[in-house]
Amino acid sequence: MTARRVLITVPHTYKREAPYLGRLEAAGLEVERRIGRQGKMTEDELRSALPGVFATLASSEPYTERVFREAPDLRVVARWGVGFDAIDVNAATSHGVVVCTSVGANHEAVADYAFSLMCAVQRGVLRNHRLITGGQWKTEFHRGLWRATVGIVGLGRIGQAVARRCRGFDMTILAYEPYPDREFVRQYSVELMSLEDLLRRADLVTLHCPATAENRHVINRERLALMKPTAHLVNTARGALVDESALHEALVTGRIAGAGLDVFEKEPLHDSALFGLDNVVLAPHVAGIDETSEVAMANRAIDAILAMWRGEAPPKECVVNPEVLSPR
C-alpha cells in the first residue's frame, strides 16, 4: 500500500489549531503531529516515527544519512522555514528524497525582527526597562538609528528587506555579498565591500548569510576585534555564524557595545554566560515567526508536499536538490 502519512514535527502545531493542515487531509493524506520529549525530535525519535511516512512538514530535527536509510517510504522533507542546515542534503538525494524550503514566505518577518533588535540594542531599550523596574529614574544617552551606518552581511531576500527598512531611517547601508543584485544595490545606494571593511565602518552589523561550512564562525575573535567599541552585532540567521565564546569575551571587555541574538550555536538555549549580561537582548529563534508568516510558511511547505503527492514537481525555487526530480 502506498504510504500516505504526513508527519508534522513543528512544535507549535502540536496542541494548537492549525487549519492549514486540513489541506493535507482534504487530499487524502493522513496527518500525524509529533514532537520530541525535549521539544525538538532527536535522531532516534525521528527514525522511529518515519516508517510509513510519505512526507514531513519539518522543523529543525536532524535528517541524517541513517534517518534517510531507515525511511524507505519518505519522498519529501518540506521545511517550515528556509534553513536546511539540519538536513544532510547529499544523503536525501542519494535516497531519492526531495528537500524543500518555504523560501519567500518569512523574509519580511525576519527583517522586521532584525530591525527591532537593531532598535533595541542601539537605543538601550532593555537597559532602560531594567533601570525603571529596578527603581531608577534617570536619563542615559544612547546612539541613535537615524543616519547610523549599518553593515548587512548577506544581501539576499532577508538582507534586502532589512536594507529597505534602513533606507527609511536615512542610514548609510554597507553590505558584504559575494553575488549581489546590482539593480537593488543601485536603487538603494548600497556600498559593497569586503567583510573586514564593513566591520570596521558599521555602527550596527546584522547577519543574513547561510550557515555553510565556510561561514562557520564567520564572526570570530579576530573579526570582532575589527568592530568599533560602540558597535552592536545582530544575528537572526544561524547561531553557527558566531563564535559565542569570542562574542561573550567581546561583550564583557567592551570590545563591542552589545548584541541582539535570536539564534545560538546550541538550541534550545537553557543556560548561557550571555544570560548575565545587560548589553545583550536575547530571543528564542523566533525572528521569522509572526501570525502572517506562520500561515505562509506552512502553506509553502504544504504546496510542495501536495505537488509530490500528485506526482508533480514542487515550485523550483523551493527545491534544494532538484536533481532528485530529473528523469533517470
Mark whether 285 is an active-site residue: yes
* DSSP helix/strand/coil, 279: coil
Please state, in angstroms and rounded to a whole number, the distance separating the CA atoms of residues 280 and 233: 9
Helix (H) or strand (E) segment spanning residue 53: strand 53-58
* Residues composing the chain: 328
Q: Catalytic: which of 75, 157, 238, 300?
A: 238
Mark whether 267 is an active-site residue: yes
Helix (H) or strand (E) segment spanning residue 78: strand 76-79
Q: Are 215 and 83 in contact (CB under 8 A)?
A: no
Please state, in angstroms and rounded to a whole number, the distance separating the CA atoms of residues 215 and 206: 14
Q: Are 240 and 217 in contact (CB under 8 A)?
A: yes
Q: Catalytic: which of 95, 223, 232, 285?
A: 285
Grid cell digits, residue 325: 526530480
Please state, in angstroms and rounded to a whole number, the distance separating the CA atoms of residues 37 and 194: 44
Please state, in angstroms and rounded to a whole number, the distance separating the CA atoms of residues 113 and 260: 10
Please state, in angstroms and rounded to a whole number, the distance separating the CA atoms of residues 58 and 50: 12
Q: Are 84 and 99 in contact (CB under 8 A)?
A: yes
Q: How many CB atoms lie within 10 A of CB 16?
A: 9
Question: In sequence order, what are the beta bridge partners of 175?
Answer: 152, 192
**Which residues are known to be catalytic?**
238, 267, 285
